[in-house]
């Protein structure tokens, strides 16, 4: 689909792609949204940025929420850094192309987008087919998932097999050993003494194996289904349960009477079910080991969280001229948010809040790198200004960020108490806010000088902002985990609403004075169903 409010551009885009693609067109973002409601998901959407009522970034952010697989391409007639930042953060665009475009280059980009979309959809369809196939074994899967420990899992499996196939069932666990029966695969196996059994007729535990040793040993050796009948009109079946070439157990089942002998359909079905049962047994055997590994991993993550917490300032400067507060809460054990507060020996105060894209351990590793490089810069005897620090950070981290498909947003400020001057630089981060606590009715000032996130362009450039902070002025830096928090709201769709910076300001006005960031963060978290992103907030109040 192509979206542009200029008819000539819209027609040109349509004619460019109509021979190779089925093309839908819309002359506004609202018409495009209506078309998506009627037609459904589009593989690729090319949208102009400058459109009335709803611009391209806003439109593509709607598309990203409704159709996350759609490949989004943004066109603009301006090399606008603000548009680029918003497109990356909100629209999640595949490519950002300036007008006038080269038709051949645009066609190449669209072909790449189409290839990407086909791969994504192919994998999605394969997953859907696998889920449909798994639904056939829903009864077995549900039953085996009810128990996680090995003993209860094995007993539940034998009950499900007996009930599903109307047979008495005994499950014989198997393990590889140096002594035992040599199988056709060359490995040596032995039957373990602990049996799990179920008697179909009574619904109770069977008291003895239903197959003689020779039948079990034949199944153990051949790793194939063994079927036999006795003089007592019993039809007996030995079913090896194999997962990833490993023989885990042998299920022995028998039915009484010739009228209910095993049919070809029964045999086909039971062998299909055997794959799922073998998987369940494998899961049961691995459960305790996984549980131990999980406990070890949790302990290691707890250590990692403590290390990451120690990287942040544990104590903040106590000054006569300013009051500083900071809070940082990762969404997981570790996260990508960070803050920095540093009182330089020359008297300047450095404050920064950063956010590495993604969550968890990868983001935490980049967070550690970013904060170490930042401190290297500002700890110098004569540190550069915030904009130059950003350039140096981008240069130091660029290769690693690009190779791992990550970026960092960051707001960095230097406050000089002697002159009351605040100098700041912003790399694609949430706008810092400034207001006077002595003027509760005044609106906040949003510091809107901003460049692209670190790790996007080889050379980072942006204009540094400057202003004077007077006594009573308060500077607030936050991460997007604060402004994108979803709060309960009875009148909103889905009874929840994203906070946003306007909503944050409303919460700030409701807070008792003096402002306590920990109470503000607790207020936000108490109204959220779940913390979906790292949350960091930092303030500087001039006294």
pLDDT of residue 468: 96
Q: What is the pLDDT along the chain (543 residues), one digit of tens a residue?
A: 999 998 888 998 998 888 889 999 999 999 999 999 999 999 999 998 888 888 888 898 889 888 988 999 888 876 566 666 665 655 577 887 877 888 888 888 889 889 988 898 888 866 754 553 465 477 767 766 677 677 888 888 888 888 877 788 888 888 887 676 777 777 888 888 778 888 754 444 444 444 446 777 888 888 888 877 665 566 778 889 888 888 888 888 887 765 556 777 677 778 878 888 888 888 777 776 777 788 888 888 788 778 787 888 888 999 999 999 999 988 877 888 999 999 999 999 999 999 998 877 888 888 889 999 999 999 999 999 999 999 999 999 999 999 989 999 999 999 999 999 999 999 999 999 999 998 878 899 999 999 999 999 999 999 899 999 999 999 999 999 999 888 887 666 666 788 899 999 999 999 998 999 999 999 898 888 788 888 999 999 999
3-state secondary structure 497-526: EECHHHHHHHHHHHCCCCCCHHHHHHHHHH
For 138-194, write each residue's pLDDT tens digit.
776 776 667 767 788 888 888 888 887 778 888 888 888 767 677 777 788 888 877
Q: What are phi and psi of 415, to 5 degrees?
A: -110, 130
- What CATH number matches the domain at 2-123, 3.40.190.10, 3.10.20.30, 3.40.50.2300, 3.30.460.10? 3.40.50.2300
CB 423 within 8 A of CB 55: no
Label residue 98 exposed, middle or buried (CB < 10 Å: 0-12, 13-18, 19+): middle
d(C-alpha 170, C-alpha 151), whole Å: 14
pLDDT of residue 211: 45
Across 184-201, b (16+ Cβ under 10 Å) vs e yields: eeeeebebeeebbbbbbe
- What CATH number matches the domain at 313-488+497-542, 3.20.20.70, 2.60.40.10, 1.20.1260.10, 3.60.40.10? 3.60.40.10
Q: Which residues contact 26 (CB under 8 A, 6 or more apart)?
A: 1, 2, 3, 32, 34, 35
For 48-85, write each residue's pLDDT tens digit.
888 888 888 889 888 988 898 899 988 887 656 666 66
pLDDT of residue 103: 83
Could you count the other beta carbons within 10 Å of the beta carbon of residue 485? 25
Kindly write down the DSSP assignment for every residue of 95-130, as one continuous string. EEEESSPPHHHHHHHHHHHHHHHHHHHHHHHHHHHH
Q: Which two tokens stand for residue 323?
A: 């009051």
Q: Which two tokens stand for residue 267?
A: 């045999």
CB 509 within 8 A of CB 451: no
Specify the DSSP class assigned to residue 421. E
Fold of 147-200+211-288: Beta-Lactamase (3.30.450)
Q: Where are the domains of the chain?
A: 2-123, 147-200+211-288, 313-488+497-542
pLDDT of residue 175: 84
pLDDT of residue 78: 62
pLDDT of residue 208: 41
pLDDT of residue 174: 86
pTM above 0.85, yes or no: no
CB 402 within 8 A of CB 374: no
């Amino acid at each position: 689909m192509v979206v542009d409010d200029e008819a000539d551009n819209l027609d040109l885009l349509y004619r460019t792609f109509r021979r190779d693609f089925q093309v839908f067109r819309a002359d506004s973002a609202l018409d495009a949204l209506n078309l998506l409601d009627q037609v459904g998901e589009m593989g690729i959407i090319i949208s102009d940025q400058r459109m009335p009522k709803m611009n391209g970034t806003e439109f593509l952010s709607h598309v990203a929420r409704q159709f996350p697989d759609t490949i989004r391409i943004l066109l603009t007639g301006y090399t606008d850094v603000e548009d680029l930042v918003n497109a990356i953060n909100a629209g999640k665009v595949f490519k950002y192309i300036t007008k006038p475009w080269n038709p051949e280059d645009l066609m190449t980009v669209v072909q790449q987008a189409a290839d990407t979309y086909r791969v994504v959809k192919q994998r999605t369809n394969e997953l859907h087919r696998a889920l449909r196939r798994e639904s056939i074994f829903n009864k077995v899967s549900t039953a085996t998932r009810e128990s996680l420990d090995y003993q209860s899992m094995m007993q539940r499996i034998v009950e499900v097999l007996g009930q599903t196939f109307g047979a008495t069932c005994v499950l014989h666990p198997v393990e590889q050993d140096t002594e035992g029966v040599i199988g056709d695969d060359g490995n040596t196996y032995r039957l373990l003494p602990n049996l799990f059994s179920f008697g179909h007729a009574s619904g109770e535990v069977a008291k003895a194996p239903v197959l003689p040793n020779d039948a079990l040993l034949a199944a153990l050796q051949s790793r194939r289904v063994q079927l036999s009948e006795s003089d007592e009109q019993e039809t007996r079946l030995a079913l090896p349960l194999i997962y990833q070439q490993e023989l885990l157990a042998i299920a022995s089942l028998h039915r009484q009477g010739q009228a209910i002998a095993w049919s070809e359909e029964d045999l086909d079905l039971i062998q299909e079910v055997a794959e799922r049962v073998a998987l369940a047994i494998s899961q049961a055997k691995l459960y305790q080991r996984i549980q131990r590994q999980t406990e070890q991993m949790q302990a290691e993550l707890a250590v990692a969280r403590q290390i990451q917490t120690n990287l942040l300032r544990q104590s903040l400067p106590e000054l006569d001229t300013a009051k500083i507060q900071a809070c940082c809460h990762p969404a997981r054990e570790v996260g990508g948010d960070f803050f920095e507060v540093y009182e330089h020996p020359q008297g300047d105060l450095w404050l920064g809040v950063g956010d590495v894209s993604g969550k968890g351990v990868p983001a935490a590793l980049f967070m550690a790198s970013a904060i170490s490089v930042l401190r290297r810069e500002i700890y110098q005897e004569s540190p550069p200004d915030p904009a130059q620090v950003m350039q140096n950070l981008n240069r130091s981290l660029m290769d690693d960020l690009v190779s791992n498909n990550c970026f960092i947003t960051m707001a960095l400020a230097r406050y000089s108490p002697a002159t009351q001057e605040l100098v700041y630089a912003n790399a694609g981060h949430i706008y810092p806010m400034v207001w006077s606590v002595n003027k509760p009715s005044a609106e906040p000032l949003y510091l809107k000088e901003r460049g692209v996130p670190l790790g996007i362009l080889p050379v980072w450039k942006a204009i540094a902002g400057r202003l004077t902070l007077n006594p009573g002025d308060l500077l607030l830096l936050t991460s997007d985990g604060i402004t994108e928090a979803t709060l309960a709201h009875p009148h909103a769709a889905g009874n929840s609403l994203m906070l946003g910076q306007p909503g944050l300001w409303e919460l700030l006005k409701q807070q008792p004075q003096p402002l306590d960031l920990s109470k503000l963060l607790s207020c936000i978290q108490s109204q959220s169903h779940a913390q979906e992103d790292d949350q960091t907030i930092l303030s500087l109040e001039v006294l």
